[in-house]
Structure 1
Amino acid sequence: MIRKIFFACSLMLALDLRATEAFPRDVQKFIDDREGCDHMRGEEPEPGDRQRARELKREMDRLCKGTDRKLAQLKKKYAASAIVMKRLGEFDPQIEAAVPEK
C-alpha cells in the first residue's frame, strides 16, 4: 500500500516537473512571479494591521511591478510558440494599475 502511494506521488511530481520544464526559463520565472503577485493581490490584511499591510505592499512591489511590460515582451518573443502563448494568455495583461497603493 505504501509503495503504491509513493509511486503515485512520485509520478505526480515527475509530471509536474516535466510541465515546468516545458517553458523557457524566462517564461517560468515570469509565471512564478506573476502567480505570487496574483496571490498577494488577493490578500487582505485585517483592519488596522499595519504590519501585514506593509508586508503585502512590499511583496506586491517585488512581484508585480513590471509584469505588464514583461508579459507583453514575452508574448512578442514567443509569439510562434503555441504552448507558451496559451499559458501567457491566462494572465491579465494589465494589472499594475489595479495593484493598490498601501
Structure 2
Amino acid sequence: MRLNAAMLGMVLLSGCGDAPADEPSVQVEVRTIHPPAALSPTPKPGLPFDVVAFRLKRDECDQLRGEEPTGPARAAALRYGMERTCTGTDAALRALRQRHAGDPAVIAALAGYDDAIE
C-alpha cells in the first residue's frame, strides 16, 4: 500500500502521544526508489513526447531482452515483460523516424535502436 502525505502525517503523528505500554509502536520507513539508469534515459531538450515515451518503453524492453532467466518463474516474468514492452516497437520506431525525418535531434536520439527485435 502506498502512503500519501496525509496518511504519512497521521502515521507519524500517531506515535507522538503517550501510548499505553502494552500497544506496540509503529515505525515507518520511507525510501525513494530510482529506476536503473537504463530505464530512465535523460531526455534531450526539445525531444517530442512521443519520442521520449518510445525511448522509455524500448529501453525497458532492451533491458529485459538482455536478462537471463534464473528459473521458470523468472522466465515467465521476462516473457510477460517483453510482451508488454517490446510488442509493436519495430513499427513504432519506423513511424517515429518517418514522422520526425526532418529533426536531426530526434533521428540522433533514435539512431541506437535496432530496427527489428520482434
Match of 1:70 in 2: 92
Match of 1:12 in 2: none
Match of 1:4 in 2: none
Scaled by the length of structure 2, what TM-score is found?
0.62
Query: Structure 1: where are the runs of 5+ without partners?
Result: 1-15, 97-102
Match of 1:44 in 2: 68
For residue 20 of structure 1, report the CA deviation from its aligned partner: 4.4
For residue 21 of structure 1, report the CA deviation from its aligned partner: 4.4
State the number of aligned residues: 78
The structure carrying a bigger helix percent of its residues is 1
- Secondary structure of 1:44's match? coil
Among residues 61, 65, 71, which one is paired with 2:83 in the alignment?
Answer: 61
Residue 99 (structure 2) pairs with residue 82 (structure 1): no
Query: Structure 2: where are the runs of 5+ without partners?
Result: 1-40
1:34-66 residue CA offsets vs partner (Å, 9 max, x unmatched):
0000000000012xx111001000000000000
Larger radius of gyration: 2
Match of 2:18 in 1: none
Measured in 2, the distance between the counterparts of 1:45 and 1:75 equals 33
Deviates more, 1:20-29 or 1:74-83: 20-29
Report sequence identity in percent: 37
For residue 72 of structure 1, report the CA deviation from its aligned partner: 0.1
**RMSD of the TM alignment (CA)?**
1.5
Higher relative contact order (CA 8 A, sep 6+): 1
